[in-house]
Structure 1
Amino acid sequence: MKYKILVVDDERNICFTLKRFLEDEGYKVFVAEGYWDAMDLLADQVPDLVFADIMLVDGSGMDLLNEINRKKFNCPVVMITGVPTIQTAAEAVRLGAFDYLSKPVRQKDLIRVAATALKHKAVVEEKERLQTNLKAIFKSVQDGIITIDRQFNVIEINQAAQKLCGLTRETTLGRSLESRTESHCEHCINLLKKTIEQKSPNWTRLQTCRRNTSFEQMVSLKATPLINNAGSLSGAVLVIRDETRLVALEKNLKERSAFYNIVGKSEKMQNIYTSIDNLADVRTTVLVTGESGTGKELVGEALHYRSVFSEKPLIKVNCGTIAENLLESELFGHVKGSFSGAITDRTGRFQVANGGTILLDEIGDITPKMQLA
């Protein structure tokens, strides 16, 4: 590719000299001997780089720089002046000039700045191309996509995520996802926290989202860490897939192959899924029985996450691993000094689980007296 360079100076000999220097390097060079001459050239074509004298007979290089910025031409502008001062250099850079050269312009400086400016232009164009492609991908993907930085500030959100989550770009971009108070966001936030802490992908097969009170949304969540080439964590991306229609269809046909973290599609498994559906929103005690390893804990988790209390805590207690004399304190807590060794207040597991679910695993291993409590 032969780059096009515009040289603007009201001294003809300087235009000739700079043109010759640049053409020797293989560039295609146009010259303009004033502000309006340059404007006429810019009306017909956009150069890849502009060298402009600050002081022109019919205007200034600063005016030309402002006009190029106003028209959003992606071409670096290098200012040239015969009276170099810190003030003029600072002003040129403030207005968006790429660099600043003082007269007389030496050939090696001219070539060096031209090469650097054109390399910068190529990088900017590649970045813009990638951003355009990424935006097109974000827009076309039907799954919701939200990217965050390490501080949980939202970097990008696509249209599908806005629709699924009831968010808008205006109220979300640049703001912390953790600051949102809606309870239906807790599952997404917790999954992202886990992903950032572990620096590894995490996912949830199915999750009830109760953003819309008129119907339940069933979504699958997957969070992946964003790690750069140096191995540093810069944030995470969350993908939200709406599975509401698929789950409803599988439920009606009794062909569900998975239910939260439970996997299986036999008739007996369909009956279990239906039982969980029926019990999920009933505020009552549920006894789950079965041989060791058959998935009682998974059923307990499904009951919790399927219920309207899924945003509240799920507290698991393995009763078989806690000594009998400590179990009452573990479950119900105690106050300082209530017995020998109670040196501080302790919050019981039932209180921690308030409003949510407490899962008492291996409850059959504790004594009948304790079970009555």
Structure 2
Amino acid sequence: MSYRILVVDDEESIRFTFNAFLSDAGYVVETAGSLEEALEKIESISFDAIFLDILLGRESGISALQVSRERHPNVPVIMATGAPEITTAAEAVRLGAFDYITKPIHQDELLRQAKLAVEHKMLVDQREAYQLRMAAVFQSVHEGIMVFDEEMKLLEINTAAEDILCCETSLLGLTPREIGAYCPPMKMLQETIEERCEGEIFQLESTDGAGQPLIFGLTMAPLTGHGQRALGAVLVLRDESPSAGQVE
């Protein structure tokens, strides 16, 4: 896979040198000599990393950094300058620059920064794709899933759980006891959840909002971190009512 890098600098000699070094290392390189040209390329081309001069003639590369972070937050931007100032560096980092390097930039340092940047983007993209896949699975399963944090406040709930609990109110951030005030079926679950009866399967009966019988299975599993530190719990609900799965 060829990674694409944008080099933005108002000095032609630097653009030429960076282009040569990066191209020889196998990167696909685009260059821009002005803020306007840089913004056009950031808007129209997908990059894996950007080297951006902080001073572009009378204009500031900070503007391009801001646009890049807004449009493509996963793309690392390495700021470069021949006149480093603490305030400028701090501003660049505050706005999300991946790193800040000073000129003259030697070939080894340029390639090192490029490698770190594209690897960082690859990892961020992979993590984002994984999270999207997990979110799709989370919402598509038929079982209801509720995820609680270490204080037993609801972090996540899928559509199936909302349907089983027959609750239209937003429940995020609430404890099981607080949820019970909005969702009658949840009152039956409070003791089980608060005691954290891990791994056991229960069958509970209640009624839905229309007064119809509601039967559901319940199981619970802990969320633990390093050293078995408790991070919360996952509650899985399965609608076992006679009407579950029937098509009207």
Q: TM-score range by the shorter chain?
A: 0.7 to 0.9
Taking a change above 3 Å as real, the CA distance of residues 174 and 62 of structure 1, as seen in their structure-2 partners, is farther
Q: TM-score, normalised by structure 1?
A: 0.59
Q: Is the 1:194–1:202 Cα contact (8 Å) retained in structure 2?
A: no
Taking a change above 3 Å as real, the CA distance of residues 230 and 76 of structure 1, as seen in their structure-2 partners, is farther
Match in the other structure for 1:39: 39
Aligned residues: 243
- Structure 1, residues 39-59: CA drift from partner, whole Å, max 9, x if none? 232343211111101111263
Match in the other structure for 1:48: 48
Q: What amino acid maps onto 2:30 in structure 1?
A: F
In the TM superposition, residue 73 of structure 1 has moved relative to its aligned partner by 5.0
Q: Is the 1:226–1:236 Cα contact (8 Å) retained in structure 2?
A: yes
Taking a change above 3 Å as real, the CA distance of residues 81 and 189 of structure 1, as seen in their structure-2 partners, is farther
Taking a change above 3 Å as real, the CA distance of residues 189 and 99 of structure 1, as seen in their structure-2 partners, is farther
The 5 A counterparts of 1:14-33 are 14-33=14-33
Match in the other structure for 2:122: 122
Match in the other structure for 1:86: 86
The 5 A counterparts of 1:170-189 are 171-182=170-181, 184-189=185-190
Q: Give me the whole-angstrom Cα distance separating, in 2, the residues matched to 1:227 and 1:26.
A: 43
Structure 1 residue 9 corresponds to structure 2 residue 9: yes
In the TM superposition, residue 188 of structure 1 has moved relative to its aligned partner by 2.9
Match in the other structure for 2:219: 222
- Structure 1, residues 276-317: CA drift from partner, whole Å, max 9, x if none? xxxxxxxxxxxxxxxxxxxxxxxxxxxxxxxxxxxxxxxxxx
Match in the other structure for 1:244: 241
Taking a change above 3 Å as real, the CA distance of residues 189 and 87 of structure 1, as seen in their structure-2 partners, is farther
Taking a change above 3 Å as real, the CA distance of residues 69 and 239 of structure 1, as seen in their structure-2 partners, is same
Structure 1 residue 193 corresponds to structure 2 residue 194: yes
Match in the other structure for 1:203: 201
Q: What amino acid maps onto 1:161 in structure 2?
A: A
Match in the other structure for 2:109: 109
Q: Give me the whole-angstrom Cα distance separating, in 2, the residues matched to 1:147 and 1:234.
A: 10
Structure 1 residue 65 corresponds to structure 2 residue 65: yes
Q: Is the 2:3–2:48 Cα contact (8 Å) retained in structure 1?
A: yes
Taking a change above 3 Å as real, the CA distance of residues 174 and 22 of structure 1, as seen in their structure-2 partners, is farther
Q: Give me the whole-angstrom Cα distance separating, in 1, the residues matched to 2:119 and 2:73.
A: 16
Q: Is the 2:180–2:190 Cα contact (8 Å) retained in structure 1?
A: no
In the TM superposition, residue 207 of structure 1 has moved relative to its aligned partner by 0.1
Q: Mean alpha-carbon deviation: is it higher for 221-230 or for 154-163? A: 221-230
Name the SS for the 2:96 alignment partner.
Answer: coil
Taking a change above 3 Å as real, the CA distance of residues 104 and 98 of structure 1, as seen in their structure-2 partners, is same
The 5 A counterparts of 1:137-176 are 137-167=137-167, 171-176=170-175
Unmatched segments (≥5 aa) in structure 1: 250-373
Taking a change above 3 Å as real, the CA distance of residues 190 and 117 of structure 1, as seen in their structure-2 partners, is farther
Taking a change above 3 Å as real, the CA distance of residues 103 and 178 of structure 1, as seen in their structure-2 partners, is farther
* Structure richer in strand, relative to its length: 2
- Structure with greater Cα Rg: 1
Unmatched segments (≥5 aa) in structure 2: none
Runs of 4+ with deviation above 6 angstroms: none
Q: CA RMSD in A?
A: 2.5
Q: Give me the whole-angstrom Cα distance separating, in 1, the residues matched to 2:173 and 2:110.
A: 40
- Structure 1, residues 245-266: CA drift from partner, whole Å, max 9, x if none? 169x9xxxxxxxxxxxxxxxxx
Q: Give me the whole-angstrom Cα distance separating, in 2, the residues matched to 1:22 and 1:11.
A: 17
Q: Mean alpha-carbon deviation: is it higher for 178-187 or for 18-27? A: 178-187
Match in the other structure for 1:352: none
Taking a change above 3 Å as real, the CA distance of residues 78 and 174 of structure 1, as seen in their structure-2 partners, is farther
Q: What amino acid maps onto 1:193 in structure 2?
A: E
Q: Give me the whole-angstrom Cα distance separating, in 2, the residues matched to 1:138 and 1:241.
A: 14
- Structure 1, residues 318-339: CA drift from partner, whole Å, max 9, x if none? xxxxxxxxxxxxxxxxxxxxxx
Name the SS for the 1:201 alignment partner.
Answer: coil
Q: Give me the whole-angstrom Cα distance separating, in 2, the residues matched to 1:116 and 1:191.
A: 48
